[in-house]
A and B are shown apart, each in its own frame.
Chain A
Amino acid sequence: MSPRAAWRLEGLGFARVYDFVPGKAAWFAEGLPKEGKLASAPVIGNAARPDVPTCAPAEKVGAVRERVRKVGWDRCVVVNNERVVLGLLREKELASDAEATVEEVMRNGPTTFRPDVPVGKMAERMRVRRVRTVLVTTLGGRLVGLLYRDDAERLAGEQP
């Protein structure tokens, strides 16, 4: 729609017309400010835990396991130097051979969600699908945090 709108405006005499091609979805997906009736509804970007442990694909599973358990977590997100999500280590993968590399055992390409998804909608989805956690990333795939169903349900329950 926006390309046609841009051409139409130019035809109406506007000299400097820009088309923001990715649209409002891209803006909201980065957790940037918005206005409107739904603007204040809690979203998963605010509920996800940004302090979830991360590791690199080349690390040894044993070292990662030790580090992750030391800080009381049972999940570790595999990221590259740009913090783009590549994989996930759950309890099962963390219990793998200590000498294996993360890349060898990680769950490849886990499903991720954008930060602007309403928390109530996500809580319901996680409940129906019996999912305990989901990853939240920016549109470009950078890690925002790990969302626990408990957190999503609590936040959704606080809505008026």
Chain B
Amino acid sequence: MPISIFRNEELRGLVEEEAAQLVDVLLREEYEDEHLPGAINIYLKELDCETTATLKQDAPVIVYCHDYQ
């Protein structure tokens, strides 16, 4: 079951201490305008085996969108 996190510090901790991978699931244009450092972009509707092939299965993955959408 996915775990919800709410604080910036939690996100930062997972990235810095556990090499979590950040995935921005917004549209490409929104991602290109601004995104979190190190995030890759995979649009929600394009999440599949092929587009996620570069992600490590054994490391945490954090997904985010714009806000509480």
Q: Within 8 Å CB of B52, what residues of A?
A: 9, 12, 14
Binding site for B on A (CB under 8 A): 1-10, 12-28, 30, 32-39
User: Of A5, A18, A21, A36, which one neighbours B33 at CB under 8 angstroms?
Assistant: A36
Say whether B34 contacts A34, CB under 8 Å: yes
* Docked pose: A34 CA to B60 CA in angstroms: 21
| Most B-side CB within 10 Å, residue of A8, A14, A17 | A14
* Residue interface mask B36-61, A partner, CB < 8 A = 1: 11110000100111001001011111
For B, the interface residue count at a CB cutoff of 8 angstroms equals 42
Classify the interface of chain A: helix, strand, loop or mixed: mixed
Say whether A35 contacts B34, CB under 8 Å: yes
**Count the A-B residue pairs with Cβ separation under 8 angstroms: how many?**
132
* Docked pose: A1 CA to B65 CA in angstroms: 6
Say whether A9 contacts B67, CB under 8 Å: no
User: Of A18, A27, A36, which one neighbours B63 at CB under 8 angstroms?
Assistant: A18
- Residues of B9-51 whose CB lies within 8 A of A: 11, 14, 20, 23-26, 31-39, 44, 47-49
Q: Within 8 Å CB of B23, what residues of A?
A: 5, 9
Say whether B63 contacts A34, CB under 8 Å: no
Residue on A nearest B25 in the bound complex, by CB: A5
